Amino acid sequence: MAKTLNVAMIGYGFMGRAHSNAYRQVSQFFDLKYLPVLKVACARDPEKIQKFAENWGWESTETDWRKVVERKDVDAIDIGSPNNTHREIALAAAAAGKTILCEKPLAMNLAEASEMTEAVERAGVANFVWFNYRRVPAITLAKQIVDEGRLGRVFHYRAYYLQDWTISPDLPQGGQTLWRLDKDVAGSGVTGDLISHAVDTAIWLNGPVTKVVGDVETFIKERPLQDAPDEKKAVEIDDACQFLCRFANGSLGLFESTRYARGRKNKNGFEINGEHASIAFDLEDPHRLLFFDHNDPSHLQGWRSIHVTGFEHPYMKNWWVPGTTIGYEHTFINSLADFLKGLETGTPAGPTFRDALPTQAVCDAVLDSAEVGQWQMVVPV
Amino acid sequence: MAKTLNVAMIGYGFMGRAHSNAYRQVSQFFDLKYLPVLKVACARDPEKIQKFAENWGWESTETDWRKVVERKDVDAIDIGSPNNTHREIALAAAAAGKTILCEKPLAMNLAEASEMTEAVERAGVANFVWFNYRRVPAITLAKQIVDEGRLGRVFHYRAYYLQDWTISPDLPQGGQTLWRLDKDVAGSGVTGDLISHAVDTAIWLNGPVTKVVGDVETFIKERPLQDAPDEKKAVEIDDACQFLCRFANGSLGLFESTRYARGRKNKNGFEINGEHASIAFDLEDPHRLLFFDHNDPSHLQGWRSIHVTGFEHPYMKNWWVPGTTIGYEHTFINSLADFLKGLETGTPAGPTFRDALPTQAVCDAVLDSAEVGQWQMVVPV
Amino acid sequence: MAKTLNVAMIGYGFMGRAHSNAYRQVSQFFDLKYLPVLKVACARDPEKIQKFAENWGWESTETDWRKVVERKDVDAIDIGSPNNTHREIALAAAAAGKTILCEKPLAMNLAEASEMTEAVERAGVANFVWFNYRRVPAITLAKQIVDEGRLGRVFHYRAYYLQDWTISPDLPQGGQTLWRLDKDVAGSGVTGDLISHAVDTAIWLNGPVTKVVGDVETFIKERPLQDAPDEKKAVEIDDACQFLCRFANGSLGLFESTRYARGRKNKNGFEINGEHASIAFDLEDPHRLLFFDHNDPSHLQGWRSIHVTGFEHPYMKNWWVPGTTIGYEHTFINSLADFLKGLETGTPAGPTFRDALPTQAVCDAVLDSAEVGQWQMVVPV
Amino acid sequence: MAKTLNVAMIGYGFMGRAHSNAYRQVSQFFDLKYLPVLKVACARDPEKIQKFAENWGWESTETDWRKVVERKDVDAIDIGSPNNTHREIALAAAAAGKTILCEKPLAMNLAEASEMTEAVERAGVANFVWFNYRRVPAITLAKQIVDEGRLGRVFHYRAYYLQDWTISPDLPQGGQTLWRLDKDVAGSGVTGDLISHAVDTAIWLNGPVTKVVGDVETFIKERPLQDAPDEKKAVEIDDACQFLCRFANGSLGLFESTRYARGRKNKNGFEINGEHASIAFDLEDPHRLLFFDHNDPSHLQGWRSIHVTGFEHPYMKNWWVPGTTIGYEHTFINSLADFLKGLETGTPAGPTFRDALPTQAVCDAVLDSAEVGQWQMVVPV
């Protein structure tokens, strides 16, 4: 028999939209015991949150997240507000015994993330971090290929996350939609926003990272403020971040992220080179996975472009028919479906808060390394 | 102020799902005056339609489409049932003054399609055919490029629609999910199902087709019945269809469709070669449009792969952010949004029933040509 | 022990260069008993042929091909002059007992080609037609895959040969370098020049063609003369040619060639769809062969892009190292190597004149079909 | 009037073949004053060098390079022998007043390279390093685009050179054909062999590198000896090398090379991201250059794939016709043509020995950095 899960959404920005859409759609496409109910949406601006709630069908609104956490008719808190709010909300929500789904990066740094993890575990509440790209079907298929042992010993892992939307020096920083450029709110620039995705995927596919040496740069040194266009302020975030690393399995890693790669829009990809096979993925063609198998007859070896839209591919039997693609938002719906299934079965879907700690540790180590100009060991977590 | 549009859905198969999803989602992503209400879903099997209605949120169900047409609380009839039912339902719905949205192909043949067109026009009801691929953003962008005059004189138009799902001789025909292989129900095979999409797009982008010479083949001569697996019956549909043609603008055309192209899953594409520029598209990478511009500096000319995910691209500002893709189902939502906008503005969104007649005329001419082994003039409509 | 083969080259245009280069290079890369000697080059213009001979290392020159044919110190005649000269030279060379290598198309039409074939067979001289694309390593690999039986029953064969170099109406016709636009000299336009390549490959890979229906067009109706730029003359060649066909093995065929496909430079490709596997090739990426194998595990199926540069690939062990590509001219060197090996072993390398007859028959049937507007049976040869 | 350049080739391995081929062919395709004469080929093994000389048309042979350097009938020494011989031969050749062409890497390390550079400059002899990839037409076109100022401020430069031919632990090291795996002979592994190519291209396109932090790994710790298959020896070369760097123009760099990237055969590529435009290249598709121009109309922006085969592209008017590709060996012929043109005009074609010093400095710094685990400044040269 169906059970409802009353959800509260904190935040109404881009992620607020993506999550709301997932709550609205998941039950039509997945056969689940838990049915999410869009109970309350919360943000400081009453008009904006009202409009948001109406559009997405949230039953009510609040302007103070503390009230939301206290509401008895709320089972789960979804933290979609800026990074500097995650810790406080998560701690309160855990204390109130709520299920928690938190946008990535989990926290401003490893210390915060660890505190939050201890809190949810102490409280015994279900918890989840929205590293949605694990549920791109092609990436899930990559995980399956790795788990099937098709790669053999891994030699190389390389990853990139390239965008180009902040090249113009006229683009302002801060404010409602551009807080990702404000270090006080975002914690870091592309490291927390982009490369954290790449690192989460890497650790999931290739295991722990043991040491790193990184380099970051801020190309545009000052920008106007979104909320005060006539003022300029120094930019403190990292516009670009790249690092070398070693994995515990002995493979070499190489990561890069930037918002200054002209022509690259949302190019989040990776390649793994193993003894027997290699895998490559690029989010700009999210429905494809490239696979090279050295076990093929030698004259027929080549990189296969797998059109990951068949019934035999992860998640795809829940959607349309072979050959038809799904989009960006489906990664959130797939994630939610797995999370709800985890509630049902008692085996939590990852990444939990704890699963997200190694990523936070790597990001911290990279930023530290860039600051001191040295290799850094990654704190084991 | 918002107006509701009470919709009745006839049929609950693959298209029933795709349309239901569109009605559920369109209002979250497009700012529209008309809000669709999922009033009633209809199919002969009471249990199945009940389950379908519950899943998608249809308020009620019916098992006889005639009752649906008579219901006062229904404004619009969406015909998603098999092809051999389109005509009768459309005529009754027109007579009842209902708005009509009909799946493609519009009818079993041009005669039926013409009768239906006359009926809706006589009744003065809004009408629409779900040639959803016109609203793939990349195809809409192709139309925009054509309309901007960037191609100059057109020399060639080639199109293909290739699938591979019927190669196994064990696949049955007929029944609930495989009626597309039954000529009595589907009217034709790939001609009505696949090449009609290619022809609709072609006429939209390149104008009328004047004459054709075609060839069809049925590769697997008999198949078991879905509803009686021990019986075999001759297959009467066309498994493959290809034709040469001339367009009114003097360009040469070449079309092909099949369900026997191993490795091609839903490869629906085209290329237009003009004096100054060329365009190419392939639905297996639906977020990309290829464009070659002879006006570029000569040493820098090349086929551009436009990632059609920017705010400046058709429909995309209604979805997520640049670089993030949408999927198959969005073509239905985009179509519905335009249709509803058409109701609002009084300028109907195409293709209307009348807009779909030339496609039906071409398909008829191709099948005739294949039968008599001669070029056939296309009936001007 | 090595044997010399004294070669005479008739013609010094583009093909004269390509063949000369092959004679100069073949012995460095292939271990052959027959060593070609560049004995004499022949063309009407004494200055031009002199310059050509010096550049390529031809030992002597002639201005009358009849003298060449009579020379005792010549073993082989290579006919690289325009199409309307092939027949007469070949007949004389055969009568003189010379080995003959002839550029494609073999002749102006099937009647000529048959006469030439009978002549060489009666004379018992070795003969060869330069359909060089059979020796693109990727195409040879395609043949190998077909011969290994990996495709199963073939359903579809489609081919195209697209260029864009004659779009400008200012381009003249006739004369030394543009005789391909003059019907009296070339016999036909793209049919003989381009689609004949596609047809030769098709028949080699997929067997005989039984019937065709074709369409041709001349887009630019008149052009200036290269030798008299102030005069304009009607263009009589076909600028574009497309046809549908049936193969003897029951598969459907579809062919297209044009010089009006803006952005397509030398796009000569094909795709074969079989029951178990498919193959695709495109000369614009000549070092790659696409292969889809339905026998792969279902979740790992995809089009493989085989980088045809390995030691295990046809011809490649004779060139550089895996991963390094060869170019256009190597197809001629590979062809020559096979031809010379054929002399050595007594098993002639194809295509011989006789092997080229079916291609000529198809081209004739296509042009006839286009003229009468009817399907045509292909003359069996 | 033509002048001869009598060439002596030291070495007969893979590079001996590639260079010999260039000397044989350059005059047929380029109009040059200097005509290379294949005077003498030299290697220690008399039988092998004899066979080599016969195959390629070298007029004579020697088994001691010192004799070659002393020969009066030799104008130019081409050093194609293993890396550990470059210095001694170059110093002697310079002292003898010979023109010198040297395979890359120029030397075992910067100290040697500097000594060699001083020697050739003191002697006033023409000198050249075979970084052949500068003359891949697509890379030369990239240089042209950079020089046209189309990129604006550069933010990122990333490069890779990936192969997979040493993954098997059974592959031996040392000996005649596998000296690249022997540190005493090669100096380093992929750093000197592969990444040096990437660095040469990078400096040519993007200017000097100022500091680096690198990491190297030897995956297979011991291998049998080619000359004594029963013995195993520790492998001392770097199997993989990756580094981060900064360029003098402020851009961030990221380089990787390996022989353990399963499925990557000769994947030598780069991407440059500038403020206004980006460029990307991959040697596995050497005839293509990718270019993204932010100045295109916004709805039409996309990565162009330029088919670098037009008459307007670097070197291509010397080869065949638009649309036809050239191969690996042509990069050597193009290089030689430029070198000979430099002799003719007095403006030396690069890279000269001096031009190659910065690359050597970067490679040294990378290896140092990997050893000490620290960022290293690159010695300015």
Per-residue HEC secondary structure of B254-313 comes to: EEEEECCCCCCCCEEEEEEEECCEEEEEECCCCCEEEEEECCCCHHHCCEEEEECCCCCC
ipTM: 0.97
Q: Choose among C267, C284, C321: nearest Cβ to D14.
A: C321
Q: Which residues of C touch A303 (CB under 8 A)?
A: 304-305
Q: What is the mean pLDDT of residues B341-358?
A: 97
H/E run at residue D344: helix D330-345
Instruction: Tell me how close the Cα of C308 comes to any Cα of chain B, in angstroms.
Output: 20
pLDDT tens-digit profile of C225-243?
999 999 999 999 999 999 9
| Joined tokens for residue B347 | 């300028």
Question: Strands, E, within C235-352: which ranges?
Answer: 240-247, 252-258, 267-274, 277-282, 288-293, 303-307
All CATH 3.30.360.10 domain ranges in chain A, comma separated: 137-321+353-377
DSSP annotation of D193 reads I
**Nearest residue on chain D to B311, alpha-carbon basis:** D299
| Inter-residue contact A255 to A202 (CB < 8 Å) | yes
For residue C315, the 8-state DSSP code is T
Sign of CA dihedral D200, D204, D208, D209: negative
**Other beta carbons within 10 Å of D201:** 25
Nearest 5°: the CA angle D94, D97, D103 is 45
Sign of the dihedral through C-alpha B175, B176, B177, B181: positive
Token pair recorded at residue B45: 């099997």
H or E segment to which residue D258 belongs: strand D252-258
Chain C hits for D285, Cβ within 8 Å: 285, 287
Cα angle vertex D195, ends D189, D197, to 5°?
120
Task: Note whether D288 and D269 are within 8 A (CB).
Answer: no
Nearest residue of chain A to residue B329 (CA atoms): A326
Q: Which of D28, D163, D180 is the best substitution to test chain C (most C C-beta atoms within 10 A)?
A: D28
Mean pLDDT score of chain A:
97
DSSP state of A277: E
The answer on pLDDT for A321 being more than 80 is yes
Alpha-carbon distances, residue C174 vs A52, B134, C236, C237 (angstroms): 70, 44, 11, 11
Q: What is the per-residue pLDDT across D303-332, written as a single tens digit (0 to 9) for each?
A: 999 999 999 999 999 999 999 999 999 999
Query: What pTM, to 2 d.p., does this model score?
Result: 0.98
Instruction: Determine whether the interchain pair C322/D285 forms a contact, defined as Cβ–Cβ distance below 8 Å.
Output: no
For the record, the structure tokens of D146 come out as 């950079």
Residues C56, D28: C-beta atoms closer than 8 Å: yes
- CATH 3.40.50.720 in chain B, residues? 3-132
Fold of C133-377: Dihydrodipicolinate Reductase; domain 2 (3.30.360)
Residue closest to A150 by CA, chosen among A292, A270, A248, A287: A292
CA distance C81 to chain D (A): 17
Mean predicted confidence (pLDDT) in A235-243 = 97
Q: Looking at the DSSP assignment, which residues form a beta bridge with residue B266?
A: none
d(CA D377, CA D167): 32
Residue B230 has φ and ψ, to the nearest 5°, of -85, -15
CATH topology of domain D137-322+349-377: Dihydrodipicolinate Reductase; domain 2 (3.30.360)
Whole-Å CA distances, A132 to A31, A129, A286, B87: 20, 8, 13, 45
Structure-token pair, residue A139: 């990436």
Report the interhelical angle of A330-345 vs A14-29 (nearest 10°).
60
SS3 D8: strand
φ/ψ region of D306 (left if φ > 0, alpha if ψ in -120 to 50, else beta) reads beta
Pick from B144, B306, B312: which is nearest to D302 by CB? B306
Please judge whether A252 and D217 are an interchain contact, meaning their C-beta atoms are less than 8 angstroms apart: yes
Residue of D nearest to A278 (CA): D262
3-class state of residue B378 by DSSP = coil
The band of C171, judged by pLDDT with boundaries at 50, 70 and 90, is: very high
- How high is the pLDDT of residue A176? 83
Residue A378 CA: distances (Å) to CA of A112, B173, B296, D371:
16, 60, 49, 20
Q: Residue B160 in contact with residue B255, Cβ under 8 Å?
A: yes
Q: Which residue has the tokens 């459907």?
A: C252
Q: How far apart are the first and last CA of chain B?
A: 38
Confidence bin at A344 (pLDDT 50/70/90): very high
Q: What is the rounded distance in angstroms from the CA atom of residue C342 to the CA atom of residue C345?
A: 5
Q: Which two tokens stand for residue D360?
A: 């050597």
Determine whether B127 is exposed, middle or buried from the number of CB atoms within 10 Å of its CB (0-12, 13-18, 19+). Answer: buried
Strand pairing category for C267-274 and C154-162? antiparallel
Nearest to A15 by CA among A41, A51, A47, A54: A41
Nearest-Cα residue of chain A relative to residue C150: A300
- Are A14 and B322 an interchain contact pair (Cβ–Cβ within 8 Å)? no
Q: Which tens digit of pLDDT belongs to each residue from C238-282?
A: 999 999 999 999 999 999 999 999 999 999 999 999 999 999 999
Contact: C215, B303; criterion CB under 8 Å:
no
pLDDT band at D175 (very low <50, low <70, confident <90, very high): confident
DSSP of D91-139? HHHHHTT-EEEEPSS-SSSHHHHHHHHHHHHHHT--EEE--GGGGSHHH
Considering only CB atoms, D329 lies closest to which of C24, C309, C320, namely: C320
Residues of chain C with CATH 3.30.360.10: 133-377
Q: Using pLDDT thresholds of 50, 70 and 90, give the confidence band for residue B175.
A: confident
Q: What is the DSSP string of B217-256?
A: E-SS-EEEETTEEEEEEE--S-SEEEEEEEETTS-EEEEE
Cα gap C275→B167, rounded to integer Å: 7
The answer to which of B87-101, D15-29, D172-186 has the lowest mean pLDDT is D172-186
CATH class of the domain defined by A137-321+353-377: alpha beta
Mean pLDDT calculated for residue range B288-311: 98
DSSP category for residue A359: H
pLDDT at A181: 93
**C142-167 confidence digits (pLDDT tens):** 999 999 999 999 999 999 999 999 99
The pLDDT of residue A111 is 97
Can you give the C-alpha Rg of chain A in angstroms? Answer: 21
d(CA A139, CA A201): 8
Alpha-carbon gap, residue D262 to D166, rounded angstroms? 10
- Using one digit for the tens of pLDDT, what is the confidence trace for C292-310? 999 999 999 999 999 999 9
* B245-271 pLDDT, tens digit each: 999 999 999 999 999 999 999 999 999
pLDDT at B1 over 80: no
Confidence class of residue D176 from pLDDT cuts 50, 70 and 90?
confident
The pLDDT assigned to B2 comes to 87
Which residues from C are below 8 Å from A298, CB to CB? 310, 312
Domain covering B134-377, topology: Dihydrodipicolinate Reductase; domain 2 (3.30.360)
Whole-Å CA distances, C97 to B63, C106, C328:
85, 19, 31
Q: From CA B274, how far away is CA B271, in angstroms rounded?
A: 10
Tokens of A234: 């120094």
Which CATH code is given to the segment(s) C3-132?
A: 3.40.50.720
Mean pLDDT score of chain C: 97
